[in-house]
């Protein structure tokens, strides 16, 4: 497990998009490609009916598509077209959406809204939501395994991707993070414990997205290490900003409830550090992420711009 990352008041930060790079257009174009691919993949892994309808309800409801876009951008950073990583990008978004469906259930966060629409268990019912999440999770691995079968010349890379995603999304990553998050309700956490929790719950899949894209894009060991360091920083920065938005975000813009962390007595960065210090910490993390890829060429500008976007976002 990575060592927890602590705030460093003297660390550098950065908040400027790469000169001449249009992140808004890039995100729109990539999101459209991902959405089209998700529709096709969903039709291929599920039988028409109520279950597929529930899976569509959550998967195609919008969202930032951060994880798949990072996967595609990492492949481009390594020098390949984004198509080489599209199956992995789709699988990662399906896993992320399954985790949101289950996270919203009454047994966990019991939320009513997600991505601006009723949560899956509110739109359908609890049992259907559980099965929709299960369908997305297993469908994701069907896509990854299918890619290994259809591209025998890249079978080794796809097996590595399956291993990376399994570990990041499983009991050594996201699921353990969710367990720690639930156990910590009502229990104050230290900065180190909070960082460990979030590196598991949120950061592990974000790091896997970048790692998988870079691997499929043909990155060398040094590039992989630098990109993983970048991803580790932005993964934690993303959660710090999420914590801040849960305190002062606009629920209409965000498409989900705010103030829920305080209601559930969760330890968060604003709770532990304060809002201002948390915002500075997120800036510090982004500065370190940008430093990790400072020697990369302009093919990595999307990754640079996404890092800055993470601390500027309002949803």
3-state per-residue secondary structure call for 79-131: CCCHHHHHHHHHHHHHHHHHHHHHHCCCCCCCCCEECCEECHHHHCCHHHHHH
Please state, as a whole number, how many other Cβ atoms lie within 10 Å of the Cβ of residue 271.
Answer: 18
In a domain, 1, yes or no: no
Say what the pLDDT of residue 307 is: 97
Say what the pLDDT of residue 253 is: 66
In a domain, 4, yes or no: no
Say what the pLDDT of residue 261 is: 80
In a domain, 58, yes or no: yes
pLDDT per position as a tens digit, 93-138: 999 999 999 999 999 989 999 998 999 999 999 999 999 999 999 9
Of the CA atoms within 13 Å of residue 269, those in its CB half-sphere come to 26
| Measured CA distances, 194 to 214, 241, 266 (Å) | 28, 14, 10
What's the mean pLDDT in 181-197? Answer: 92
CATH number at residue 184: 1.10.600.10
In a domain, 163, yes or no: yes
Average confidence score pLDDT of the chain: 92
Coil, strand, or helix at residue 173? Answer: coil
In a domain, 48, yes or no: yes
Q: Is the dihedral of CA 306, 12, 189, 257 positive or negative?
A: negative
In a domain, 15, yes or no: no
pLDDT per position as a tens digit, 130-181: 999 999 999 999 999 999 999 999 999 999 999 999 999 999 999 999 999 9
In a domain, 207, yes or no: yes
Determine phi and psi for 118, rounding to 5 degrees: -60, 140
Please state, as a whole number, how many other Cβ atoms lie within 10 Å of the Cβ of residue 313.
Answer: 16
Q: Which domain holds residue 34?
A: 23-312
Asked whether the predicted pLDDT for residue 1 surpasses 50, the reply is no
In a domain, 2, yes or no: no
- Number of domain units in the chain: 1
């Amino acid at each position: 497990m990575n060592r927890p990352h602590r705030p460093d008041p003297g660390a550098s930060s950065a908040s400027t998009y790469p000169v001449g790079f249009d992140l808004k257009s890039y995100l729109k174009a990539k999101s459209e490609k991902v959405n089209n691919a998700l529709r096709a993949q969903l039709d291929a892994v599920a039988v028409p009916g109520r279950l597929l309808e529930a899976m569509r309800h959550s998967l195609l409801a919008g969202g930032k598509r951060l994880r798949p876009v990072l996967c595609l951008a990492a492949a481009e950073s390594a020098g390949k077209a984004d198509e080489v990583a599209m199956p992995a990008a789709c699988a990662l978004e399906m896993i992320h959406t399954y985790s949101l469906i289950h996270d919203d259930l009454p047994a966990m966060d019991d939320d009513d809204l997600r991505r601006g629409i009723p949560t899956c268990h509110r739109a359908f019912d609890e049992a259907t939501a559980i099965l929709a999440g299960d369908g997305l999770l297993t469908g994701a691995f069907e896509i990854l395994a299918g890619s290994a079968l259809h591209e025998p010349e890249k079978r080794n890379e796809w097996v590595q991707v399956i291993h990376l995603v399994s570990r990041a999304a499983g009991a050594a990553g996201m699921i353990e993070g969710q367990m720690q998050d639930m156990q910590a309700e009502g229990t104050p956490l230290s900065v180190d414990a909070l960082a460990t929790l979030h590196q598991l719950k949120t950061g592990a899949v974000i790091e896997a997205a970048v790692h998988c894209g870079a691997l499929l894009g043909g990155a060398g060991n040094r590039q992989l290490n630098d990109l993983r360091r970048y991803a580790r920083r932005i993964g934690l920065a993303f959660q710090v900003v999420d914590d801040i938005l849960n305190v002062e975000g606009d629920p209409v813009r965000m498409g989900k409830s705010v103030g829920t962390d305080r209601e559930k007595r969760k330890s968060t960065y604003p709770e532990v550090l304060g809002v201002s210090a948390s915002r500075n910490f997120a800036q510090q993390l982004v500065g370190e992420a940008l430093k990790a890829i400072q020697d990369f060429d302009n093919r990595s500008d999307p990754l640079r711009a996404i890092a800055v976007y993470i601390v500027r976002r309002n949803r």
